[in-house]
């Protein structure tokens, strides 16, 4: 298994480009199944989860072609297999996103139940309940969700928990349903809005995406379009934290600062100077050690859970004490155990981690457990004394395009060690 070797102590400086958002590309690629004609998607990040999605679509018989600029063309017309098998779903839970489109466009779907993962049980009961309300017959057979429905009908669905992919699955299903669907307590993440904009471009009738109530009037069919995925706000936030932690100056171009307000607020609270433009954002740590910040994760526009691990790492070397409260997932402190191996002083009490900042961390061999935990270990390696070796970095490759190239461009001493 590949590892990343990072020699700490460099103050990062420079600017990099944000890649397309993984968590928008995945639902949009699933949404291509709804189209009656080929769809082109650009600004798709070159990530493990994206290639897994291509594999899944290809297995269904969908034609996926890529041009040299990572422009993707998806032609769903040759589809012949309405199934997402366990061997693919177990590597990427977001495969569940094909359920709504398959059911709505083709009237049936067999999708392996995604198991839990390192950060929590992550059930899909809200996805299933909403589709049942829209008239689907859904059973679980040998670990697969088996769903059938001649044609879904519009319904008013109140989701008991704010769920990003749950909202996305039901949003996609509703575009071809018969009548009006109202999704209440909908997720407001920018990636949900990007998916809605993609569906609207294909001819869907959607109002209110980006708010907690989305109204969809079903149409007969959707036509392929050419759509560019929005920039990745979590990737952007991760590199900005790297700038703040190393006391450096990092600018991320082709980004969307408005998607990151809660994160930028916390970066300012840590003492970094934040400046933004139309499509860029810059953090200047001013050569100083960051100040500790306290935060509580929440659905958008609250502080994103996907940035929690990165701020835990920042607090590990900050001045003072910060309390990190995780309210979305029940087990999203796996990175703490690894940071402690590097000397971090962190105490976990339920869903709260109290972090007493240390003047320095010490490099150690550490192991990635999930995508954002692995990012926090890379960040810790950037400031630790010595050479940190991060193992199981296939987790990193799921969500960070060219991470070592981007960090090296900013001056980091980082290399990939073939495992
Ligand atoms: C999406 O996951 C993201 N993944 C996650 O990003 C992100 O952490 C999460 O949203 C929260 O923002 C993608 O978009 C592909 P949820 P998702 O459904 O949709 C509970 C990353 O690092 N829930 O919003 O799976 C669930 O257990 C990944 O890029 C139910 O109870 O998350 C959790 O506690 C990690 N029943 C809460 O809702 C359901 O049917 C929020 O989960 C669905 C969810």
Beta strands (DSSP E) in 67-133 are 72-75, 83-84, 108-112
CB 6 within 8 A of CB 390: yes
Nearest C-alpha neighbor of 171 from the set 137, 206, 147, 140 = 206
Task: Please name the residue whose Cα sits nearest to atom 21 of ligand 1.
Answer: 306
pTM across the whole model: 0.97
Task: Please name the residue whose Cα sits nearest to atom 43 of ligand 1.
Answer: 124
pLDDT of residue 70: 72
Annotated catalytic residue 83: no
What's the rounded mean pLDDT across residues 308-337?
97
Whether the per-residue pLDDT at 301 is higher than 90: the answer is yes
pLDDT of residue 352: 98
Element (H, E) at 310: helix 308-316
Q: Determine the Cα–Cα distance for residues 270 and 261; give it in Å rounded to an integer.
A: 14
Task: Please name the residue whose Cα sits nearest to atom 5 of ligand 1.
Answer: 306
pLDDT of residue 68: 74
Whether the per-residue pLDDT at 308 is higher than 90: the answer is yes
Residue 322 in tokens: 């910060």
DSSP 353: E
Active-site position among 13, 117, 158, 337: 117
Report CA Rg, the chain: 21
Determine the Cα angle at 266 with ends 376 and 120, to 5°: 45
What's the 306 CA to ligand 1 centre distance in angstroms? 10
pLDDT in tens, 21-66: 999 999 999 999 999 999 999 999 999 999 999 999 999 999 999 9
Which of 118-132, 135-149, 238-252 bottoms out in mean pLDDT, i.e. has the lowest? 118-132
pLDDT grade, residue 120 (50/70/90)?
A: confident
pLDDT in tens, 159-181: 999 999 999 999 999 999 999 99
Nearest C-alpha neighbor of 214 from the set 163, 274, 250 = 163
| Ligand 1 atom with the shortest distance to the CA of 299 | 12
DSSP 386: S
Q: Is the dihedral of CA 255, 261, 266, 270 positive or negative?
A: positive
Q: Determine the Cα–Cα distance for residues 344 and 364; give it in Å rounded to an integer.
A: 12
What's the 286 CA to ligand 1 centre distance in angstroms? 35
Q: Which residues line ligand 1 (CB under 6 A)?
A: 23, 26, 94, 120, 122-127, 161, 163-166, 305-306, 328-329, 371-372, 399
Residue 345 in tokens: 């002083």
pLDDT grade, residue 281 (50/70/90)?
A: very high
Nearest C-alpha neighbor of 13 from the set 351, 320, 234, 284 = 284
| Mean pLDDT rounded to a whole number for the chain | 96
Spell 289-321 as b/e; 16+ CB within 10 A means b.
Answer: bbbbbbbebebbeebbbbbbbbbbbbbbbbeee
What's the 281 CA to ligand 1 centre distance in angstroms? 26
Q: Determine the Cα–Cα distance for residues 136 and 190; give it in Å rounded to an integer.
A: 28
| Ligand 1 atom with the shortest distance to the CA of 328 | 34
pLDDT of residue 1: 81
């Amino acid at each position: 298994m590949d590892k990343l070797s990072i020699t700490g102590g460099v103050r990062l400086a420079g600017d990099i480009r944000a890649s397309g958002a993984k968590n928008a590309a995945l639902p949009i690629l699933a949404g291509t199944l709804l189209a009656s004609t080929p769809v082109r998607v650009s600004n798709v990040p070159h990530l493990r989860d994206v290639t897994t999605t291509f594999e899944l679509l290809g297995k269904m018989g969908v034609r996926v072609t890529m041009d040299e600029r990572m422009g993707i063309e998806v032609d769903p017309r040759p589809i012949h297999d309405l199934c997402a098998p366990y061997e693919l779903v177990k590597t990427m839970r977001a495969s569940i996103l094909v359920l709504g489109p398959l059911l709505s466009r083709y009237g049936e779907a067999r999708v392996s139940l995604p198991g839990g993962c390192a950060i929590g049980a992550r059930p899909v009961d809200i996805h299933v309940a909403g589709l049942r309300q829209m008239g689907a017959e859904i059973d679980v057979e040998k670990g697969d969700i088996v769903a059938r429905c001649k044609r879904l009908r519009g319904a008013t669905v109140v989701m008991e928990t704010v769920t990003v992919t749950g909202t996305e699955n039901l949003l996609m299903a509703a575009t071809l349903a018969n009548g009006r669907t109202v999704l209440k307590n909908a997720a407001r993440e920018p990636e949900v809005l990007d998916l809605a904009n993609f569906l609207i471009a294909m001819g869907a009738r959607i109002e209110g995406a980006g708010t907690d109530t989305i109204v969809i009037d079903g149409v007969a069919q959707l036509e392929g379009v050419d759509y560019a995925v929005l920039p990745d706000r979590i990737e952007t936030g991760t590199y900005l934290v790297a700038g703040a932690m190393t006391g450096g100056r990092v600018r991320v171009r082709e980004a969307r600062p408005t998607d990151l307000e809660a994160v930028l607020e916390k970066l300012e609270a840590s003492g970094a100077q934040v400046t933004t433009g139309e499509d860029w954002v810059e953090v200047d740590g001013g050569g100083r050690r960051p100040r500790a910040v306290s935060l509580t994760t929440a659905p958008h526009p609250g502080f994103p859970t996907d940035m929690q691990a990165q701020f835990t790492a920042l607090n590990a070397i900050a001045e003072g004490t910060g309390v990190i409260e995780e309210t979305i997932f029940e087990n999203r402190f796996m990175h703490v155990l690894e940071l402690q191996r590097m000397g971090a002083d962190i105490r976990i009490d339920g869903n709260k981690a109290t972090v007493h900042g240390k003047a320095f961390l010490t490099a150690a061999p550490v192991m990635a457990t999930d995508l954002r935990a692995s990012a926090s270990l890379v960040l810790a390696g950037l400031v630790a004394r010595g050479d940190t070796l991060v193992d199981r970095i296939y987790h990193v490759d799921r969500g960070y395009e060219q991470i070592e190239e981007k960090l090296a461009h900013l001056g980091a001493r980082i290399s990939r060690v073939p495992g």
